[in-house]
A and B are shown apart, each in its own frame.
Chain A
Amino acid sequence: MSQWITLLQKEIIEMWRNFKWIWVPITFILIGVQQPITTYYMPQILDLAGGLPEGAIINIPTPSAGEVLFQGLGQYTTLGVLIIVLSTMGIIAAERKSGVAAMILVKPVSYFSFVTAKWAGGLMLMWFSFLIGYLSTWYYTGILFEWIPVEDFFQSLFFFGLWLTVILTITLFFSASLLAPGVAGFISLAVVIVVNLVSNTLSNLLKWSPSQLTGYAGEILLGKGIPDDALPASIIAVGCIIILLSLSVVIFKKKELAS
C-alpha cells in the first residue's frame, strides 16, 4: 500500500511540475464558462457585429438556466473529452517508450500498482478540473440566468463525471496497450466517437450505454429528476471501468517492456 501511495505521489508531483494542475482546470473553466456568457450577451454581440437590415427585430427566446448549463456540459463532451484524451494518452505509453518504465519495473514494483496509481492520478486531475470548471459554469449561469438547485448540480456532476471517467479509462487502456502516445490518443478518440454515434442512433435500444449518461445529466438539469435508466447506465459504466482497468494491467504485464 505504501508503494502505491509513493507511485501516486509521484504522479501528483509530476503533474504539478509540468503544470497540468494549472492548465487543465483553467481550460475546463474557459470551455464551460463561455457558454452562459455568450448566450447571455448574444443579442448585443449580434448587434455589434452589425449586418442586419435597419428595423429588423431580433427575437431570440431567452433559454432557461437548465438549458444553458446543459449546453455547457455539451462543450465538455467535445472539447473536454479532447483535453482528457490529450493529457492522458502518454500516461503509460510515453514512459514505456522512453524506457523509464523499465527502470522502475526492475524494482520490486507491482504492475497492478503501477497502472492503477497512474489511473488514480489521472482521475484526480480530471475530477478536480471538471469540478472547478463545471462549478464556474454553474456560478455564471446562476448570476446571468437563474440558479440551478445545488442538488441537481451535484447529481448531474456525478453522472456526467462517470462518463468522463470511462473515457479516461479507455485512454489509459490504449496507453497501456500501445507504444505510441499519439496513436493511443487517436484510437481512444475514435472509440469514444463511435460509442457516441452508435448510442445516439440506437438510443432506444442502448438506453444503458454509458455515453447516454450525458443526456441523463441534462434531464436532471432540466428539472426532470434522475431518469430511471441513469442507474443501470451508471452500473454498466462502472463495470466498463473495472474491466478496462483490469485489462490494462494484464496487457501491460504481458507486453515486454523491452522491445
Chain B
Amino acid sequence: MSLIQIKGLKKSFQGTEVIKGLDFTLEKGRCVALLGPNGAGKTTTLMMLSGLMKPTTGSISFTDTKKGEDIRELIGYLPQFPVFYEWMSGLEFLSYVGRLAGLTGKEAKERSLELLQLVGILEAKNRKVGKYSGGMKQRLGIAQALIHRPQLIMLDEPVSALDPIGRREVLDLLEVLRKETTILFSTHILNDAEEVCDEILFLHNGGIVESGTMIELRERHQQAKIDLYFSGKTSEYIPYFSAHKLTNSLMYEGNRISIFVKDIAAARQSFLLWISEQNLPLEKFEVSSMTLEDVFMKVVGK
C-alpha cells in the first residue's frame, strides 16, 4: 500500500538544476533512508515533500488525501537545524504547535507530556528552550514532528549533530517509532541507514542512483571478495595478487588487501597455499560480504 508517490520531481535554483527528476514511491509502514553525500539534494527533497519548497516541476501525491485536505496534516517534519521560540519552555512549545495542528488545549498538553516522556526530556519540560543543549533540542524537534500523529515523519539528518550517546538514543527512538508510522530520514552516515531502515534511496547529484531494500541491494551488488590482513606492509605482495588468474580487481589500504575474485573457493585455496608457502605474516583472512559502504562507493562512482 503506497502512502506517497513522487513523479518527475525537479528543482532549480537560479537556473541550476539541483534535483534532476526523482521518481519513487513510499510504502506505508516502511522506514526509508535517503542516503547520499553532502550536497546530493537530500534536504531539498525533504523540503519539497514537506511543502516548504515548491518543486519546479513534478508532482507529489499522497494516496490518502481527500480533496482540499492540507497535506501538512499528514506529515511531521524535523529540519536539519530545528529552531524554536527560545522564550518558550519545551512544554509550551509542544502545546503551542499541538494546538496549531488542531488539538484542543487539553489534548495538546497531554500529548506534549507523553512525547516529552517518549523522547526523554520530561524533566526539562519547564525549562526555557533557549537553555536546552543541542541534543535536547534535537529530541524536542522529534517530539514536535510527532505531535499531531502524522502518517509520515520526515527527519533531516536527525543524528548527525549528536554525540555518540545521543545518536544511540535517537536511533533507538526511531526503532520504536518505525513500528507505528512511516519514516523517511536523510543521512550521510551509512551505518545509521543500515541499522534502522528497511529501504534505501541513494541520492547523488540530484538523482536517485540506486534504491531498494538492504537484501535487494546486497544481492544486486554482491561480489566475491576476499579481505586479507597482514602485519606490516602489504605493498610487496600486491603484484602477485593482482597478476593472479582468479583476480578481477584489487584494492589495498594500510595492512589490508581486498580482492574481488572470480571463484571464492578456488581463490581461497590458491591464496592460502601461496601465503603459507611464502610464510607471509597473515593476521586475518576474511571472505567478506558487501557492506553498504561498498555499494555507496560503487554507485557514487569512486
Contact = CB atoms under 8 A, between A and B. Distances in A.
B72 A103 contact: no
Given A99-B81, A256-B52, A108 B96 contact: no
A18 B148 CA distance: 29
B72 A102 contact: no
Interface string B86-105: 01000000001101111000
A86 B99 CA distance: 30
A217 B23 CA distance: 63
Interface string B50-63: 11111000000000
B101 A107 contact: yes
A3 B72 CA distance: 15
A7 interface: yes
Contact of B100 (A7, A99, A102): A7
B83 A100 contact: yes
A105 to B, nearest CB: 7
A7 B101 CA distance: 11
Contacts of B83: 98-100, 103
Interface of A: 2-3, 6-7, 10, 14, 17-18, 98-100, 102-109, 256-258
B182 interface: no
Query: What 9 pairs across the A-B complex have the smallest Cβ distances?
Result: A99-B83, A108-B72, A106-B77, A108-B70, A100-B83, A6-B99, A108-B73, A17-B87, A107-B101
Nearest to B148: A107
B106 to A, nearest CB: 13
A106 B50 contact: yes
Given A106-B77, A107-B148, A108-B102, A258 B52 contact: yes
B16 to A, nearest CB: 14
Given A10-B96, A99-B81, 17 more contacts: A3-B99, A6-B96, A6-B100, A14-B87, A17-B87, A100-B83, A102-B79, A104-B100, A106-B50, A106-B51, A106-B77, A107-B72, A107-B148, A108-B73, A108-B100, A109-B100, A256-B53
A18 B79 contact: no
Given A14-B85, A258-B47, A103 B79 contact: yes
18 contacts: A3-B102, A14-B85, A18-B87, A99-B83, A100-B83, A103-B79, A103-B83, A103-B84, A104-B97, A105-B52, A107-B72, A107-B97, A107-B148, A108-B70, A108-B72, A108-B101, A256-B54, A257-B53
A10 B51 CA distance: 24
B112 interface: no
A108 B147 CA distance: 12
A14 B85 CA distance: 9
A18 B81 CA distance: 24
A3 B53 contact: no
Nearest to B93: A103
A257 B82 CA distance: 14
Given A18-B87, A100-B84, A107 B52 contact: no
A113 to B, nearest CB: 9
B217 to A, nearest CB: 31
B186 interface: no
Nearest to A113: B100
Contacts of A17: 87
A106 B87 contact: no
B70 A100 contact: no
B52 A257 contact: yes
A134 B244 CA distance: 95
Contact of A258 (B53, B73, B75, B84): B53
Nearest to B50: A106
A103 B96 contact: no
Given A99-B83, A106-B72, A3 B100 contact: yes
Given A99-B83, A100-B84, A107 B100 contact: yes
A10 B83 CA distance: 16
Given A107-B72, A107-B148, A102 B101 contact: no
